[in-house]
Amino acid sequence: MVKVGIVGGTGYTGVELLRLLASHPQAEVAVITSRSEAGTSVADMYPNLRGHYDNLCFSVPDTKTLGACDVVFFATPHGVAHSLAGELLAAGTKVIDLSADFRLQDAEEWAKWYGQPHGAPELLKDAVYGLPEVNREQIRNARLIAVPGCYPTATQLGFLPLLEAGLADASRLIADCKSGVSGAGRGAAVGSLFCEAGESMKAYSVKGHRHLPEITQGLRRAAGGDVGLTFVPHLTPMIRGIHSTLYATVVDKAVDLQALFEKRYADEPFVDVMPAGSHPETRSVRGANVCRIAVHRPQGGDLVVVLSVIDNLVKGASGQAVQNLNILFGLDERLGLSHAGMLP
């Protein structure tokens, strides 16, 4: 049984971790922290978890208690894991970070996008980017795992087959992406209010979003060189979901793109390449750790359109974190994650 600690259990990714781990046969949540809710029962805060965590209460973060766990998840704002990860790693505890703290390998680049100096640049050499479809073998031997962001997960999985095969013009990639409001987190903010986000849709951070360097870092690796990416995120009036519509120019029209994608993801338990002509919907992955992909070549031209959908809180965050846990501890990768999406 893997003994689990969670730092920051009161946000959406924290409660999603709890929901998924409640059905995990080889993991037990022993510690969950929250400074603001210390002493509160998990079952009192989250009635949906009654009967699963009735004896578990939130506590103030303590490195000694957390260090007694086999693995600690950080479901925290950026900067928090910087201050605690080093002590936990020194104690022999594995760290799986759902924040952006260790996703970028360049500390100066991180500081530029997150508006503060990187708090633990010495740990970057140990950080493994936790996209299983790319780094599964490195994850198996990792001490510190950086779980990819939601937009980066959907976007990279959609572009990877084209770039790895050298088919796409890597200098002209476009990612037109939409996110549900839960991607903004649980904190109170005017833009996330029902009256503000409902019955409306808008683009934001067109000049540059924090996920842009993370996406380009992964795409450069896939392409084996520089890439030119235009990434435009949008806020949509739904709770969960990411829909990425991806555009790439592919000059060789003889390539069977459907076969290319099916072959690339044939052995991936959480990537579903849909039949030719499909249009995946975000509702089909709601609550599930699945990325559904469809590839199109409109009018038989050289512009390829890839449709990629995930649940931003599952495959885009907590589900992918549990997937990393399973790989890290040599478990069946599907444990705690085999449930289907929720419809309607």
Catalogue all structural domains in the chain, each as residue range(s) with its CATH number.
2-129 (3.40.50.720), 151-311 (3.30.360.10)
The band of 184, judged by pLDDT with boundaries at 50, 70 and 90, is: confident
Q: Is 57 a catalytic residue?
A: no
Strand partners, 31: 5
Q: 246, 162 in Cβ contact below 8 A?
A: no
The band of 185, judged by pLDDT with boundaries at 50, 70 and 90, is: confident
- 224 φ, ψ to 5°? 75, 25
SS3 breakdown of the chain: % helix, strand, coil, rounded to 5? Answer: 35, 20, 40
Residue-level pLDDT at 25: 97
Residue-level pLDDT at 36: 87
Which is more confident, 35 or 75? 75
Residue-level pLDDT at 114: 95
**CA gap 312, 286 in Å, rounded:** 9
Q: Angle at CA 273, nearest 5°, toward 268 and 279?
A: 150
DSSP annotation string for 62-113: -HHHHHTSSEEEE-S-TTHHHHHHHHHHHTT-EEEE-SSTTT-S-HHHHHHH
Tens-place pLDDT, residues 63-74: 999 999 999 999
- Region 160-178 average pLDDT: 97
Tens-place pLDDT, residues 91-115: 999 999 999 999 999 999 999 999 9
**CA gap 266, 239 in Å, rounded:** 30
- Region 244-271 average pLDDT: 96
Residue-level pLDDT at 194: 86
Return the DSSP state at 315: I
Q: Angle at CA 158, nearest 5°, toward 21 and 328?
A: 35
**CA gap 41, 33 in Å, rounded:** 11
Only one residue has tokens 């009654």, namely 50
Residue-level pLDDT at 221: 97
| Among 221, 250, 218, residue whose Cα is nearest residue 231 | 218
**CA gap 152, 267 in Å, rounded:** 21
* pLDDT of 192 higher than 90: no
Q: 66, 88 in Cβ contact below 8 A?
A: yes
Residue-level pLDDT at 14: 94
- Region 215-235 average pLDDT: 98
- Region 319-337 average pLDDT: 98
**CA gap 271, 289 in Å, rounded:** 9
Residue-level pLDDT at 188: 75
Tens-place pLDDT, residues 107-140: 999 999 999 999 999 999 999 999 999 999 999 9
Residue-level pLDDT at 9: 87
- Region 33-62 average pLDDT: 93
Average pLDDT taken over every residue of the chain: 96
Q: Are strands 229-235 and 202-203 parallel, antiparallel or unpaired?
A: antiparallel
Q: Which of 57, 150, 177, 291 is catalytic?
A: 150
Residue-level pLDDT at 131: 98
**CA gap 137, 119 in Å, rounded:** 27
* pLDDT of 253 higher than 90: no
* pLDDT of 293 higher than 90: yes
**CA gap 272, 280 in Å, rounded:** 10
Residue-level pLDDT at 268: 98
Taking only Cα atoms into account, the Rg of the chain, rounded to an integer number of angstroms, comes to 20
The gap from C-alpha 233 to its chain's centroid, in whole angstroms, comes to: 15
